[in-house]
Amino acid sequence: MSSSVGLAVVGAGYWGPNLIRNAQATPGLRVEFLCDLDEERARSVLGEYSTVRVTPSFEDVLNDPAVQAVAIATPAATHFELVRAALESGKHVLVEKPITAARSDAVKLVELAESSGLTLMCDHTFCYMPVVRRIRDMIHEGELGDIQFIDSVRINLGLVQPDVDVLWDLAPHDLSILDFILPPGVHPISVSAHGADPIGTGRACVAYLTLRLNTGAIAHVHVNWLSPTKVRTAIIGGSRRTLVWDDMNPAARLHIHDKGIDFAQDAALGREARHAKLVSYRTGDVVSPALPQTEALRGVMGEFAAAIAESRPAMTDGRAGLRVLEMLEAASRSLETGGVAVPVGPGVPAARTVSGRPGRPGRED
């Protein structure tokens, strides 16, 4: 018996080939199957001399004892049935985001995985980028101090999707990063969203989300299909330092600024003196740390293998996928109601989309 985990990849479309390539390069995984209804497409992904088996039947995958895990890269509307069937067959599951098209379905999958002792992991790929891992470590270790604001921009001249608005297409990336980097005890409590459809597609092509955190801070996300320039930036302000992440600058993606505002809290001062000394400006160094150059998806596959081997939750487990889905549903409900702040969590009704269901979110090039 091999110590590696037998893996089947389900879906040979846009993302499936990337999963195959990175799984084959991960020591703890052994690719057994590529499953897709279009067998010719699957064979073309694998190449002429591959030993990986091709099948159009998901049942073949579930019934094969050589397969202990599946990676699902299919449209979101199919996730619930595929993941449930895999878990009920005793398979560990890695699934694309969003975990499902509705919160109620995601809850069922999370509970099924936990009661079965199986790994359910979401492919929140950006969370495995070295720069995002560094940002998370800095925040969790208190290097930035208390989080005061987060501002994220993800815009480009993108493909207008046929069955999903820009929120469900692009915002899952930013929301999964937000969920990943926030320190313990800090979380969104409400979302307000505003969108526009200036070209008449029938769905929002530009959207702005404001998430209020339980600490009183806010996070702002701008997603846009219509920008002629591609921008991928995030600014995270803390009480001690502020960082700027520019993903379009591979030579120096991250800058840490020791610059900000200090607030005087000297009760011994009189009221007028205290007001005069209330605010002081701090200017210090700007540091751009060296970051390793590794592929994020390789980290995803490595974490999936490790979580299975160690019988522990993955860093982006099913509950992380559930939290991201709760933020998306609240944002969609807010968009439908003209930007009203909607609480994040179980009490939020599922929002409608153009086709009645959300589609698969867009992928970055």
Collapsing DSSP to helix, strand or coil, 53 comes out as strand
Q: Which CATH superfamily is domain 5-125+296-323 in?
A: NAD(P)-binding Rossmann-like Domain (3.40.50.720)
Question: According to the model, what pLDDT value does residue 285 have?
Answer: 81
Yes or no: say if 165 and 251 are a contact pair by the CB < 8 Å rule: no
Domains 5-125+296-323 and 127-292 share a fold: no
Q: What does the domain layout of the chain look like in residue ranges?
A: 5-125+296-323, 127-292
Lowest mean per-residue pLDDT among 103-107, 190-194, 208-212, 346-350:
346-350
Name the CATH topology of 127-292.
Dihydrodipicolinate Reductase; domain 2 (3.30.360)
Alpha carbons 43 and 46: distance in angstroms, whole number: 5
Rounded to 5 degrees, φ, ψ at 350 are: -65, 135
For the segment 1-13, the average pLDDT, to the nearest whole number, is 86
Cα dihedral across residues 153, 237, 193, 105: positive or negative:
positive
Alpha carbons 83 and 85: distance in angstroms, whole number: 5
The pLDDT tens digits of the residues spanning 309-341 come to: 999 999 999 999 999 999 999 999 999 999 999
Mean pLDDT of the chain: 90
